[in-house]
Amino acid sequence: MLKIIKSIKILCYNYSMENKIKIGLIGLGTVGSGVFKTLQNFENIEIVKIAVRNKNKKRNIEGLDESIITDDAYEVVNNPEIQIVAELVGGIEPAFDLIKTAVQNGKHIVTANKELLAKHGEELFNFAEKHNKVILYEAAIAGGIPLIMPIKTILAGNKINKIKAILNGTTNYILTKMDTQDASYSDVLKEAQELGYAEADPTGDVEGYDAAYKITTLATIAFGKRVKFENVYREGITKIRPEDMKAANEMGYKIKLIASAELNRNGKADVRVHPMLVPISKTLAHIDYVTNAVSLSGHPVGDVTLSGPGAGEFPTASSVVGDILAIASEIGKTDYILPMMRCGHSENAQMIDISLTENKYYISITTQNSMGVIGRIGKACEENNISLASIVQKEVGEGNCAEITVITELCRELDMQNVINIFNNDPAIESVNSLIRVQI
């Protein structure tokens, strides 16, 4: 009897070894390393090939078999054993061609590539559907925060019509430090680069590209219509000053880089990324440093906010591994896996140009200390259908100049830009220092 039990155990062990899901990784950087380490805990998963840029680089990763490493990523996507490919290198090329090749070769895809999805998601999802494969991308939006799976499953019965989110840890870190240390943008950026929170070339983060990629895909999923990246308005944080931070605090706001998407009554989409004064009564005002958060509004759920680490080795690996395991659990059980997670969009969203939107605004103006200046500011606004909620003049400073802070009521972007043009051509106004939209 004992011999029979032992034989059964050996057979079961051999069967499980033979039926492991075979994985290929493209990229072994911060996220790839976290994925490799995490997958070691799952006996039904076997990583059979890993592609890296530099095969000879020393890697201090426990359990890493150097023999499975290659510097040719096509060895991964063309490997007949591999069933799931995790693309973790980012960028457009060679990632785009690698994913298409892998799909064509019968492999499912997991990716964290927000830029690729924002710019070529439609083509990739259609290509995957044509070959009956899935592309999962939980890690491409907010690192370790679960968003895509909940929206497509638990929240599937909701009509989501508004998203407000902090989707970039680098910019949130910089703005938080500027706020708490009364420091300049350039000083905090330098510190963030030294600590590794910002890249040597931070353009993708500080100019809002990263957040714009993410909100493009997130809005597409939430609204059920394709949002085109080229129609997403984008503005970065490079013009934010310590004086703006101080003024915002005095008025009960915090300045954050907000990625937002909203459907109006006619079903048109307003999708954008730019700094905003966020009231301290709002949850996003209290999301600090590298933390990310996403607030969703819809019916019947109401308002839901999900918050957590938006980047990093293990938070992002958590989402990647979750997607891998979701696919692995379906392989061999059905010919059409994870139907709810597939792209089902059949139309493009009608987009609203930023000039046609309505917003409240914070304006900082430096003027000459002369009679009638505030009146001229008020008149320019009145003539362009803009009402003022508040106008504050600080004490006169150097050069006999005063700094005036204005908060408007709700008004059209087009009208506000007309007013800014008037201010820029008014000899009594030295400069328009800042124009920042205010979250309602």
CB-based burial of residue 16 (10 Å sphere; 0-12 exposed, 13-18 middle, 19+ buried)?
exposed
Residue of 100, 214, 254, 256 marked catalytic: 214
Identify the architecture of domain 2-137+315-341 in CATH: 3-Layer(aba) Sandwich (3.40)
Q: For residue 245, what are the contacts with CB-CB under 8 A and spacing of at least 6?
A: 175, 178, 179, 182, 255
Residue 113: pLDDT band (50, 70, 90) is very high
pLDDT tens across 358-386, in order?
Answer: 999 999 999 988 888 999 999 999 999 99
pLDDT of 2 above 50: no
The pLDDT of 276-290, averaged and rounded, is 97
Do 308 and 145 form a contact (C-beta atoms < 8 A)? yes
pLDDT of 356 above 80: yes
**CA angle, corner 398, sides to 397 and 400, nearest 5?**
75
Bridge partners (DSSP) of residue 275 are 257
Residue 18: pLDDT band (50, 70, 90) is low
- To the nearest 5 percent, what fractions of the chain are helix, strand and coil? 40, 25, 35
pLDDT of 236 above 70: yes
Is the alpha carbon torsion for 234, 237, 239, 242 positive or negative? positive
Instruction: Determine the Cα–Cα distance for residues 431 and 416; give it in Å rounded to an integer.
Output: 16
**Structural domain boundaries in the chain:** 2-137+315-341, 148-310, 355-438
Residue 186: pLDDT band (50, 70, 90) is very high
Instruction: Determine the Cα–Cα distance for residues 425 and 406; give it in Å rounded to an integer.
Output: 18
Eight-class DSSP state of 226: B
pLDDT of 414 above 80: yes
pLDDT of 123 above 50: yes
Query: Which amino acid makes up residue 433?
Result: N
Question: What number does CATH give the domain 355-438?
Answer: 3.30.70.260
Consecutive H or E run containing 116: helix 114-130
pLDDT of 12 above 60: no
Cis peptide before 150 (omega within 30 of 0): no
pLDDT tens across 383-395, in order?
Answer: 999 999 999 987 7
pLDDT of 97 above 70: yes
Bridge partners (DSSP) of residue 351 are 269
Residue 195: pLDDT band (50, 70, 90) is confident
Residue 5: pLDDT band (50, 70, 90) is very low
pLDDT of 8 above 70: no
Please name the residue that has the structure tokens 């999301």.
287
| Residue predicted with more confidence, 102 or 396 | 102
Mean pLDDT estimate for the chain: 93
In terms of residues, how long is the chain?
440
- Per-residue pLDDT, 394: 79
Per CATH, the homologous superfamily of domain 148-310 is Dihydrodipicolinate Reductase; domain 2 (3.30.360.10)
- Per-residue pLDDT, 344: 80
Give how far Cα 427 sits from Cα of 164, 292, 418, 430, 431, Å.
39, 43, 16, 7, 10
pLDDT of 1 above 50: no
Bridge partners (DSSP) of residue 259 are 165, 273
Catalytic site includes residue 214: yes
Query: Which amino acid makes up residue 375?
Result: G
Same fold: 2-137+315-341 with 355-438: no
Consecutive H or E run containing 210: helix 209-223
Instruction: Determine the Cα–Cα distance for residues 261 and 141; give it in Å rounded to an integer.
Output: 14
pLDDT tens across 153-184, in order?
Answer: 999 999 999 999 999 999 999 999 999 999 99
Percent of the chain at pLDDT > 90 equals 87
Angle between helices 114-130 and 209-223 (to 10 degrees): 40
The candidate with the shortest Cα–Cα distance to 108, out of 346, 344, 338, 345, is 338
pLDDT tens across 60-92, in order?
Answer: 899 999 999 999 999 999 999 999 999 999 999
The candidate with the shortest Cα–Cα distance to 308, out of 320, 319, 326, 293, is 293
Q: Does this model's pTM top 0.85?
A: yes
Which structure tokens are listed for 291?
């933390």
Instruction: Determine the Cα–Cα distance for residues 109 and 132; give it in Å rounded to an integer.
Output: 12
The pLDDT of 402-423, averaged and rounded, is 97
**CA angle, corner 360, sides to 358 and 365, nearest 5?**
125
pLDDT tens across 305-320, in order?
Answer: 999 998 889 999 999 9
